[in-house]
C-alpha cells in the first residue's frame, strides 16, 4: 500500500529510450484506482505502452498535459494512499522535491501547436540539475554538457534558448579556429530538408550499432518453390483466411529452428541464451519507418493462426497501435522484399537476435528437374548471422534445412 503521497515517474518504456509521449490520462484527477489499473497511456516511436498501478491508491494531480513528450524519470503525477487527503498539493510537491516550471514542447515533428506543461527533472550526480526535456534532448543531440550551462528560467532552469546560446558561442569559436571545409551541397540545387523523426533516429541508431558491433557473416541459397506455391494455392481454395507466402516462410523458419536449435539463440555479454520455443520477428514497412513485431511460439501455431496474427500485427504496425511487448524478444527476424521486385538482398541483424533471413521475389528460371531442364519458380534468400554465438557450419546446416523444407513444403505443416 502507498502510505504517503509520492510522485509517479515516467518509466523507461523501452531499452535506451530517453523520452516518451504521454498520450492520454484514462483516469481523471481524484480517481481511486486498484493495483493493475491503467494510470497513463504512453507512446514511443514504435508502440503504445500502458502504465499500470502497482498498488491501490488515489490520483491527486496530473503534472503534465496529455500529448506531451516527457523525459524518462520525470514526475508525471502525484498519487497517494486510498482516502489520503492532500489539502495543499503545491506544498506537497515541494516537499517531494518537485519544482514547477513551464516549458513548451511539441510531441510531433510537424503538427499541432506546441503544448505548455509543468515539468521537473530527476537528480544528476547527487544534485538536482533543472532542465526542460526539450533542452535535455537538444543537448544530447548536439553533444553539449548541461552542467556547464547557466539556466535563465525559473529557479535557474535550463531552457532551449540557453542551449542555443551556448551552441552559437561554440559555432563562432569553431569558425575562427578551424580551417574552412567545402560544402557537399551543390550551389543552386533544388533540395528539401526533411527533419529526422523519432522513429528514423531510432532505426539509424540501432542499425549503426548492429553493423559496427555485431560481426555479420552471410550465407545465400536459391530454392525451387513450385511445390510451395502449389500447396499455398490448395490451402487457399477452401480457407476463409488467406495464406501468404510470408506466412509459410515464417512457419518454415520455426521448423528449421526446431531442427537446428543452435540458431535459436541470442548473444549477451555473459552467456549465450538458447530458447526452447521459437519467437520470430517480421519486418513491416510503415509510412513512419520499419518496425518488427514478434510472433510467439510459432512452432506451436497452425498456418491459419500465423496468417491471422501476421495480418493483425501488420495492420496495427501501420496504424501505430502495437504494444511495446509485441516489439520485444525473438531470436530471428524475416524480411521479405519480394513484393517490390527485389531478387536478392542482405539484411542487418536486429540485436540481440542472432540472425535475420532476407527473402527476395519469386522468378521463373531454367531449373533441372529429373535430369531435364525446365522452367521453374525460384526464390533466393540470404541469411545474415551473428558470428559470436553461431559458427558458420551450424548456420550452413540451418540454411540447408530451410531449403529442404521449402522444396518439400508438406514438412512445414507436419512439424
Q: What is the DSSP string of 230-253?
A: HHHHHHHHS-SSPPPHHHHHHHHH
Give SS3 for 318.
Answer: helix
CA 233, distance to chain mean position in Å, is 34
pLDDT at 145: 75
**Per-domain residue ranges for the chain?**
6-167, 216-413
Question: Quick count: other Cβ atoms within 10 Å of Cβ 305?
Answer: 15
Question: What's the distance, Cα to Cα, between the start and end of the chain in Å?
Answer: 49
pLDDT per position as a tens digit, 217-258: 999 999 999 999 999 999 999 888 999 999 999 999 999 999
Give SS3 for 127.
Answer: strand
Give SS3 for 302.
Answer: coil
* 29, pLDDT greater than 70: yes
User: Which ranges of 270-409 does DSSP label H, i.e. alpha helix?
Assistant: 303-318, 392-407
pLDDT per position as a tens digit, 121-173: 343 444 446 676 677 777 776 777 777 777 776 556 677 777 877 776 655 44
Identify the band that residue 303 occupies on the pLDDT scale cut at 50, 70 and 90. very high
pLDDT at 72: 87
pLDDT at 159: 74
Q: What is the CATH number of domain 216-413?
A: 3.30.559.10
> Looking at the annotation, which residues are catalytic?
387
Strand arrangement, sheet containing 216-224:
216-224, 372-386, 355-369, 332-336, 280-282, 294-295
The reply to whether omega before 158 is within 30° of 0 (cis) is no
Between 259 and 15, name the one with better pLDDT.
259
Class of domain 6-167: mainly beta
pTM of the model: 0.66
Amino acid at each position: 500500500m502507498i502510505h504517503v503521497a509520492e510522485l509517479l515517474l515516467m518509466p523507461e518504456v523501452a531499452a535506451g529510450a530517453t523520452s516518451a509521449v504521454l498520450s492520454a490520462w484514462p483516469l481523471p484527477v481524484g480517481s481511486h484506482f486498484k493495483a493493475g489499473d491503467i494510470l497513463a497511456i504512453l507512446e514511443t516511436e514504435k508502440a503504445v505502452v500502458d502504465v499500470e498501478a502497482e498498488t491501490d491508491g488515489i490520483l491527486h494531480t496530473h503534472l503534465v498535459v496529455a500529448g506531451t513528450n516527457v523525459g524518462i524519470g520525470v514526475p508525471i503525477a502525484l498519487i497517494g494512499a486510498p482516502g489520503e487527503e492532500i489539502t495543499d498539493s503545491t506544498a506537497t510537491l515541494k516537499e517531494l522535491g518537485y519544482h514547477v516550471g513551464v516549458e513548451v514542447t511539441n510531441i510531433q515533428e510537424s503538427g499541432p501547436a506546441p503544448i505548455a506543461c509543468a515539468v521537473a527533472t530527476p537528480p544528476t550526480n547527487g544534485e538536482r540539475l533543472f532542465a526542460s526535456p526539450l533542452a535535455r534532448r537538444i543537448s544530447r543531440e548536439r553533444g553539449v554538457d548541461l552542467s556547464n550551462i547557466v539556466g535563465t528560467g525559473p529557479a535557474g532552469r535550463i531552457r532551449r534558448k540557453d542551449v542555443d546560446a551556448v551552441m552559437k558561442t561554440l559555432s563562432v569559436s569553431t569558425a575562427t579556429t578551424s580551417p574552412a571545409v567545402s560544402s557537399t551541397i551543390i550551389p543552386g540545387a533544388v533540395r528539401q530538408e526533411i527533419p529526422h523523426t523519432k522513429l528514423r533516429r531510432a532505426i539509424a541508431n540501432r542499425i549503426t550499432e548492429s553493423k559496427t558491433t555485431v560481426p555479420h557473416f552471410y550465407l545465400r541459397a536459391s530454392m525451387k518453390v513450385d511445390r510451395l506455391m502449389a500447396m499455398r494455392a490448395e490451402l487457399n481454395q477452401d480457407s476463409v483466411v488467406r495464406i501468404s507466402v510470408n506466412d509459410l516462410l515464417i512457419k518454415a523458419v520455426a521448423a528449421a529452428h526446431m531442427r537446428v536449435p543452435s540458431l535459436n539463440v541470442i548473444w549477451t555479454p555473459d552467456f549465450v541464451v538458447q530458447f526452447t520455443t521459437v519467437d520470430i520477428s517480421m519486418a513491416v514497412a510503415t509510412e513512419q519507418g520499419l518496425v518488427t513485431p514478434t510472433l510467439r511460439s510459432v512452432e506451436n501455431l497452425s498456418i491459419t493462426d500465423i496468417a491471422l496474427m501476421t495480418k493483425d500485427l501488420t495492420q496495427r504496425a501501420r496504424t501505430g497501435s502495437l504494444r511495446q511487448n509485441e516489439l520485444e524478444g525473438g531470436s530471428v527476424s524475416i524480411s521479405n522484399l519480394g513484393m517490390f521486385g527485389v531478387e536478392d538482398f542482405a539484411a542487418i541483424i536486429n540485436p540481440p537476435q542472432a540472425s535475420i533471413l532476407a527473402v527476395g521475389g519469386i522468378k521463373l528460371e531454367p531449373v533441372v528437374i529429373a535430369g531435364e531442364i525446365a522452367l521453374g519458380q525460384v526464390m533466393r534468400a540470404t541469411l545474415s548471422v551473428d558470428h559470436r554465438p553461431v559458427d558458420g557450419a551450424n548456420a550452413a546446416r540451418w540454411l540447408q534445412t530451410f531449403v529442404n523444407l521449402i522444396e518439400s513444403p508438406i514438412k512445414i505443416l507436419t512439424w
